């Protein structure tokens, strides 16, 4: 048997000298806080970056600076009272947030297949206007992050027109609270559909102008192409949705794969990327805006009742225990007055059960899980916010890139911290 002294024992002193020499070659790494007040983090996102020179070796996203407890608030409110809180999730697309939440509650009530056709078309118009609005700001901020200020001014001009349309429809420009459980708060005002048609004709010119400024711009291409590449496998593994998923070439869109409202009756294409880099995510959003324009044109052509609803098509389900009765009936009928009183004070009587509904929001899949034990308030409500899930890949994606690439990658993700820190 060999003597124990014959076994090669590592020289700890030699090891320490080798490690020290390696550290001297590599240099000291620096820890840098990016955010939570950095303009390129699009809100109160903090990323703790470990840098070797200008190369990122480690990235740790740190969220929670804006936490508001929306999910817990929902448990102490009626289902209708929570609608304004959905505006504040992705506050760049409040019209779409309202629809997503209303569809979830309607699924729990079992009335999601009973929505009047005019209501469905109106909701789709609202969702696609919200998509255009969100993508306009997303592309504008993305371009501004890497130095193209003119694009931001162009896109913001068009968003202002969408705010004008939202104001004439709902009475509010920003936090609209337009959708109701079982329908919408009111029908379109006179001339609104014609104004939407005029906007569509104008925004396509703006989209083309933005593409002229960016798509073949050498600086833009150099800053975005082959930067922040996400493979199909990684995009799926990290649960990415929306343009960030489709930018990696994954053909998944809830409007096609799990159609709701009247999307099954409309024609549109799902744009896909090839490489999965920042440039592809930009191209996907640009084409999605064109497809949204196409969808809204179809809705305006097919909307039941016509532009100003001369046929008086309903926009709410005919159920006085879910939708507030008309004011003239409340003032003339005791039954209607009782229904209104019960709805306002106690909320609608939702049956016990659990549901999840996913909606194709501009940022990705906005999902609502609702657990009801009966009555007018949810027992539990959880929100699957796309921005929160999409940011989970940052710690995997950023290492290996240069510090200057961080702003381009974050801009290409188009996230909103309002729904991350819900």
Residue-wise pLDDT for 183-214, tens only, equals 999 999 999 999 999 999 999 999 999 999 99
Q: What is the pLDDT of residue 335?
A: 84
pLDDT tops 50 at residue 221? yes
Q: What is the pLDDT of residue 19?
A: 56
Q: What is the pLDDT of residue 350?
A: 92
Mark out the alpha helices in 110-191 (DSSP H runs).
117-145, 149-170
- What is the gyration radius of the CA atoms in the chain, in angstroms? 25
More confident residue, 14 or 205: 205
CB neighbourhood size of 113 (10 A): 8
Q: Is the Cβ–Cβ distance between 144 and 216 less than 8 Å?
A: no
| This prediction's pTM | 0.90
Helices 405-413/117-145 angle, 10° precision? 170
C-alpha 257/C-alpha 255 separation (Å) is 6
The mean predicted confidence, pLDDT, of the chain is: 90
pLDDT tops 50 at residue 81? yes
pLDDT tops 50 at residue 297? yes
Report the percentage of the chain scoring pLDDT > 70: 94
């Amino acid at each position: 048997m060999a003597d124990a002294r014959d076994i090669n024992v590592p020289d700890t002193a030699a090891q320490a000298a080798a490690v020290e020499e390696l550290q001297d070659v590599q240099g000291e790494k620096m820890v840098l806080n990016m955010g939570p007040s950095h303009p390129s983090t699009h809100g109160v996102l903090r990323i703790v970056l470990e840098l070797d020179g200008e190369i990122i070796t480690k990235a740790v996203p740190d969220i929670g600076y804006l936490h508001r407890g929306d999910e817990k608030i929902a448990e102490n409110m009626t289902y209708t009272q929570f609608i304004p809180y959905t505006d504040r999730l992705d506050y760049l697309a409040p019209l779409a947030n309202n629809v997503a939440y209303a569809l979830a509650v309607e699924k729990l009530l079992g009335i999601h297949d009973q929505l009047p056709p005019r209501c469905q078309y109106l909701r789709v118009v609202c969702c696609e206007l919200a998509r255009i609005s969100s993508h306009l700001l997303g592309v504008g901020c993305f371009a501004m992050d890497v130095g193209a200020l003119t694009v931001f001014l162009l896109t913001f001009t068009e968003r202002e027109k969408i705010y004008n349309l939202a104001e004439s429809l709902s009475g509010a420009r920003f936090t609209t609270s337009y959708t109701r459980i079982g329908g919408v708060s009111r029908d379109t005002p006179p001339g609104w559909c014609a104004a939407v048609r005029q906007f569509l004709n104008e925004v396509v010119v703006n989209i083309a102008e933005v593409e002229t400024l960016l798509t073949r711009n050498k600086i833009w291409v150099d800053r975005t192409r082959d930067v922040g590449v996400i493979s199909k496998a990684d995009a799926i593994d990290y649960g990415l949705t929306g343009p960030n998923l489709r930018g990696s070439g994954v053909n998944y869109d809830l409007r096609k794969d799990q159609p709701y409202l009247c999307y099954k009756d409309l024609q549109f294409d799902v744009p896909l990327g090839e490489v999965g880099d920042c440039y592809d995510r930009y191209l996907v959003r640009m084409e999605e805006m064109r497809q949204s324009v196409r969808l809204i044109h179809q809705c305006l052509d097919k909307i039941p009742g016509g532009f100003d609803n001369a046929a008086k098509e309903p926009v709410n389900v005919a159920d006085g225990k879910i939708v507030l009765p008309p004011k003239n009936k409340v003032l003339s009928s005791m039954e209607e007055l009782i229904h209104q009183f019960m709805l306002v004070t106690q909320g609608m009587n939702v049956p016990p059960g659990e549901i999840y509904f996913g909606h194709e929001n501009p940022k990705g899949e906005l999902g609502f899980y609702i657990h009801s034990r009966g009555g007018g308030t949810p027992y539990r409500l959880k929100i699957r916010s796309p921005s929160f899930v999409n940011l989970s890949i940052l710690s995997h994606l950023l290492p290996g890139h240069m510090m200057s690439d961080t702003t381009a990658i974050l801009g290409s993700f188009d996230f909103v911290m309002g729904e991350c820190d819900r």
